[in-house]
Amino acid sequence: MQDMSEKSVLITGASRGIGADTARLFAKAGAQVALVARSAEAISDIATEIGSQAIAIPCDVSDFAAVEAAVAQTVQNFGGLDVLIGNAGAIEPISHMASADPGAWSQVIDINLKGVFYGMRAALPVMLKAGGGSILTISSGAAHGPVEAWSHYCASKAGAAMLTACAHKENGRYGIRAMGLSPGTVATEMQREIKASGINPVSQLDWSDHIPADWVAKALLWMCSADADHWIGSEISLRDPDIRARVGLA
C-alpha cells in the first residue's frame, strides 16, 4: 500500500460509494482526509468512523465559494493540500434530449463539470505555492462516446476529462500530477439509478457485472505513487488488465 503519511487529501462526493471507500482507504494508508459532500450527516458519520485523521466539510461543489471555503478549511486543519480527488457526480434525471428538463440537465453540468473546475481552481494556488500536488478526476467511458439518454453526463464527463488535460498542460511543469481515472461500471447508488431507468444497454447489466467501489479507491491510491507517473496528463482505464495488475486487483 502506498504510504500517505503526512499527506492531506480532499475528496468530493465523499458521502457514499467511491468517495466514502476512498476516504477510508487513504486514511488507512496514513493520510489526513477531508470528506466533502452535500450530505452533512453522512460525511460526519464516516469521519467519526475514521477518527481524528478525518474532517467532514458540508459543501455543494456547484458553488465555487463553498468549494473555495472547503479547500481553505482543509489547509487550515491539515497544513496543506496534497491530493484533490474530484469524484462528485450525478446522472439523474436520465432522459432523452428532446424531453430533458433544461434546469435539471444544467444542474448535472454544474456538478460534474463546473464542480471539477471549481475544485481545481481552489486547489491549484495552494498546490503551486507548495511546489506540487496530485489532481485526480473520476472520468468515464461516457466521456469518449455517446450513450442514449445521458447527454448531460457524457458532455460533462468529456469536459471534465479535458479540464484534467488542461490542468496538466498548464501546471505539469510545476509539479502538478493531473490524471483521470475511468473505472468502468461500479456497484454504487448511481448504478441503481441507471438500472431503474431501463434506458440503454448499461441499464441492462447485471449487478455482478459492476466492480466494487473499493477497487476504484485502490486505483486512486496507486495513482498517488511514482509507479503511475507514466500516466500523468492522461486517463487511466480500470478496464485495462495491465492496470488492474499494477494496482493489485484480481
Please identify every residue annotated as catalytic.
153
All three cell numbers of 232, joined, read: 500523468
All three cell numbers of 130, joined, read: 507548495
Degrees (nearest 5) of the Cα angle 27, 209, 232?
50
Nearest to 148 by CA among 114, 199, 220, 98: 199
Residue 33 class from Cβ within 10 Å (0-12 exposed, 13-18 middle, 19+ buried)?
buried
CA end-to-end span of the chain: 15
Distance CA 250, CA 230 (A): 22
131, amino acid identity: G
Degrees (nearest 5) of the Cα angle 87, 137, 211?
65
Q: Give residue for cell 465523499.
A: 14
Q: Which residues contact 153 (CB under 8 A, 6 or more apart)?
A: 91, 108, 112, 140, 142, 147
Count CB neighbours of 227 within 10 A. 12
Q: Three-state DSSP class for 90?
A: coil
Q: Three-state DSSP class for 36?
A: strand
